[in-house]
Each structure stands twice: as structure tokens, then as C-alpha cells.
Chain A
Amino acid sequence: MNALLTIENLGIAFGGLKALEGINLNVARGDIFAIIGPNGAGKTTLFNLVSGLYPPKSGRITLDGEDVTGLPPHQLARRGLSRTFQNLQIFFRMSVVENVMVGRHLHENRNVFAHLFGLPSVGRQNRTTHESALELLSIVGLADAAERPAGALSYGALKRLEVARALATEPKILLLDEPAAGCNPVETEEIDAVIKKIAARGVTVVLVEHDMRLVMKISNRIHVLDQGRTLAEGNADAVRSNPAVVAAYLGVKGKTELGLAVR
């Protein structure tokens, strides 16, 4: 078994609320692995645990064979894990390209003394970082907006900016939290294409998404959460025909969401 990310018996509670309990999952290298579930199921919380923002109450997280449970986010970034946010976390005082440049941090020369005295190496470093940031922006279709203030972008574009910024860290595994939320159909198509491009670069993708059509189309494995627990896991067909999954979705959103997926 060639699992890149392994989660065993993971759990966390907020006050009395068990937001996640007894979660087990394996993400294989090269997967596009989707996590779905109704609102409040615990999908974002799972990302917050895996990316080190919250310490888990119980369980173990293994990344590329190493136990990384409880490591802070910047240590996880060093080990090749990056993510985007459902509620955008944009650097709004920066330009679009600068946002992505921050993502190059780990690959930059971080010698503070060189920075203080403005050695020529810093200028070279800035130019290299700028170039790779522009490249990443063109992958997500934002190259033309590079010099604009981040705040001038539309919601859908900011979502893609976060993807480019996360890619800048050169992750082995990328967690995308609802990249298509708030996007119009055209933008959703673009996200679809971007995710495929990312996967083609050899990055393993874990995707939280409500757009079932997108999920069913691009992911090769789907994990369904409901109220903090695992409901089902399998490929698109298995999940679609699982009565528990259908019931959970019927209970919350009616047929429409899953109906879309069946088509």
C-alpha cells in the first residue's frame, strides 16, 4: 500500500460537540481524493487537523511514512503539505503576484543578514521568485492580473489565487477546500481543468467540494462524512448508490445535489 497520507482514528471536539470521531482514511500517491458531506459534517475541520492548525484530541496522522500528528503548519509545509481555505485567507495588502511569491518562502534564501544589507543575491532571489510566481499564475489563468491588488479580484479568481499560492510551496499533497464555491459554471470548468493540471504534475489532491458534478467527474476516490463520522468511502458509483449517503443528502439538501451527480 503506497499511502501518502494516512489518518487513523482521528477525533476532535469543540466543547461538547464531537466535530470528528474515529475517522480513518488513506490517500494514495497520485489520487484525486474527494471528501464530501452535508454542511457541518466536519470536512473543513478535518483539513484543519491535517494541516496542523488544530491539534487532534485523538488519533494519528502519517504523511509519507512519518508520524506528523501535532506538528505545526509550517513544519507540515516543509514536509510537502499545503492547502487552500474555504473562507479565503488572502494577503489583501499585497498584489496578486506577491501573494504567490509568499508561497515560495520555503524555497527562498532566508538569510536575514543578506536581506538587511540588500546584497545583490536578494535582488536575484526576488526576480527568480517573481518569475516562478508568474508561471503559477498562468496555470490558474491569472497571469494578466499579476500586478493588480489582490482585493481587485473576483471571488472565483481569489479561489484560484489561493490554489496558485499553495502550489508555490511545491507540495506533494494539496488540500483544496471548496475551490469551486461561489464560482459560475465557466469558472467551475476552469477549476476542473486546474485540478487536472495539478494532478498531472504529480501532486496528490484532496478535495472538499459541494459541486457533485465536479467531484464525481474528477475524483478517483470519495470519502463521505456526516456529523463528524465516516458514512461511506469508495469510487463515484459506489458512493452514489450507497443508501446511507443518499439518505444523508436527502435529509439536508434534497435530491438536487446528488441528482446533479447522477446525470
Chain B
Amino acid sequence: MVNDVVVIAEHAGGALTDTTFELLGKARQLADDWGGQAIAVLVGDAALATQLGAAGLVVTVDGPGFVEYTSDSYLDAVMAAIGDRAPRLVMLSTTTAGLDLAGAMSVRWDAPLVSSVVAVVAEGDAVVATSQIYGGKIMAECVITADRALVAVIAGSFPSGAGHRDGAPDVEALVPSAQGAARVVFRSRAEPAAGDVDITAVDVLVAVGRGIGSKDDIELVQEFAEAIGAPVAASRPVVDAGWLPKTRQVGKSGLKVKPRAYIMFGISGAPEHLEGMRDAELIIACNTDAKAPIFDVAHYGTTVDLFDLLPELTEKAGG
């Protein structure tokens, strides 16, 4: 068994993602504990390797087939990069690519996988990974004693600072072997349409979640938002239900916002939502479930029913 820790690097728009550095910082620490090295696997855009100074080795796979991410060809590429290296642990993020690749790798590489991970430690030879499941309400501490393991980590679980280091890692460029016809082919990309308001550019946001129950009642939230001069943002289910446009969605697959105040009604605080708003200066949450995970992140909270609270708020804000 080799005690190396591999990070599957990700990039978008010509830059490495934050989560890549979060993983890399952690990978170095674990590799140090085990006496191995941190290895970054970079598929496509091999020029970015110079920014992965925190790794001891960067394995690049690049070429015409890797300009755009696709699950099939990237899976072949990361499997080739791992080859017979036999690392102790491979780390990915729970991004779109991470969701595609982690499960697939666990089958191809025959390694146990822990998903939605927020903490990883080395305990002797074992990997102990803590997963946040049931919408953030339960933590599960998992022990993997096999000689290999995979973790898919929730964004923001580790600081990215330790992953940003100057250095001149060895770079090994892997020439991908001729592949058969790709089963998944990239056609085009669409950026989200701009909305009527830019929710990333305002001081105060009023956010509404599934707790509102119906499209008609969105009006209650709108009235309060209007009274304080703020736009209405939403969690994903509200957007998927067609109650508010996609341009109002906050979170992992929506927008990242950092307003001076984020006032939220009927949002549970799932990790995918928190990813988009946890850095707001002031977070006030209204949720009837006193155990809702949002109360671990909010600065102020109330369990008053939103249907009772909103009319009071609108009245007081107007007065």
C-alpha cells in the first residue's frame, strides 16, 4: 500500500475551483500523517498544473477529447491517472463532476466511498470520514479499513488556504490511450439568463423556501420584501416548482450571495443552500422546526410560523 492521497482537481472557465484547493490542503495533511505525498490529477487544461504547488506531483491528462468535461472521458482519464499508483485515498468534491465520478470510480477501482463528507482523519491505517446526511440533520462517522478509499467532500468543509502554496510539483503528463467512440459528447453550454434584479448585488435579501407551501403565498413574502426595499430570493425547490425564476435561486446550483442581511423563511438549511449564503453578514432565519440545520448557521432565529410572522413584519416595516 502506498500512502499517497490523490485529489481530483476541477477547473471552470480557465481557473481551478475553490474546492480543489480545499481538498488539496487536506490531502497534504493526510499524506503527511501517513508518510505519503499529495497528488493532484488534472484532466484538461494542463497549463493549470503550475498553480497546484501544494501537491508533490501533478498528473495531467490533456488533449482534444478533454477540452470540455464529460463524465465518460473524464472517468477514463482519472482511472488512467490512478493506474497502478494504489493511493490510500482519493478525494473529490460533491460538485456535478464529483457526483458523476465518485460513484463510478468506486465501482471501477473497487474502493469504498463515503459521500457528503465534512471531515476526514487518519486513524492509524484507517480512514475515518464523517458524512452529513438526512439534509444535514445527522452525522455518520464511517471507518474504512480497506487499503483504498474514496471521499466526496461538501464544498466549504476545509479551508482553502493550505491548498494555495507556491511550489514546483513534478508534473507527469499522461498520454491517453486511443479511446473508442465517446458515449457522452459535449454539444454546447448555456450560461443562465440574467434576471430582472441581480440578487448578488444587493445589501438585503429576503429568501423563501419550501415552507411557504404554495405559489399564491409567495405574495406574503413579496409584501414584506417590498416594505424593506429588498428583492426576494429562493431555495431550489421553490424555483423547481416554478414559483420564482431561476435567477432568484441561491445555492450550489444557483447564485452565491453575500448580502449584509439575509432574512429567510421556511428554508431548512441543506448544505447545497448554505453553500450559496453562509457568508452573509447577518442571517436571520424563521423556521418552525427548532432542530432545522439552518439554526446552526443563522445568527438569529425564530420558530414562529412564517404565516404569523410575515404580516407582522410587513406592518412594522411599513410603519
Whether A and B are associated in the same complex: the answer reads no
